[in-house]
Amino acid sequence: MSKFEFVTASACHDQKVGNCIEVATNVPGVVAFREGESPDTVVLTTPERWRVFIAAAKSGEFDTTA
């Protein structure tokens, strides 16, 4: 398997934010993500499942601050 190249959101570079989710989409057919503080635990999913998750997050379905 190819090596994942993880990136974080630009907001994660702010020291006030702390730990962030890191995402790798550089391997065709796979989206990998992990917690920055737990880099050895990588979750794999398909691009289609990732799109569904992102759409739900954008719509507020997982808003834990409400």
- Tokens for 54, please give them: 């992102």
* 52 found inside a domain: yes
Residue 1: per-residue pLDDT: 47
Please say whether the beta carbons of 32 and 42 come within 8 A: yes
Q: Cβ atoms within 10 A of the Cβ of 33, count?
A: 18
The residue written with tokens 């995402």 in the block is 23
Q: Give a yes or no: residue 66 inside a domain.
A: no
Report the pLDDT value the prediction gives residue 19, as an integer from 0 to 100.
77
Q: What's the whole-number mean pLDDT along residues 45-66?
A: 92
| Number of compact structural domains in the chain | 1
Give residue 44's domain range: 10-58
Q: Taking a C-beta distance cutoff of 8 angstroms, is the pair 4, 32 a contact? A: yes
Give tens-digit pLDDT for 16-53: 766 789 999 999 999 999 998 888 999 999 999 999 99
Q: Is residue 3 part of a domain?
A: no
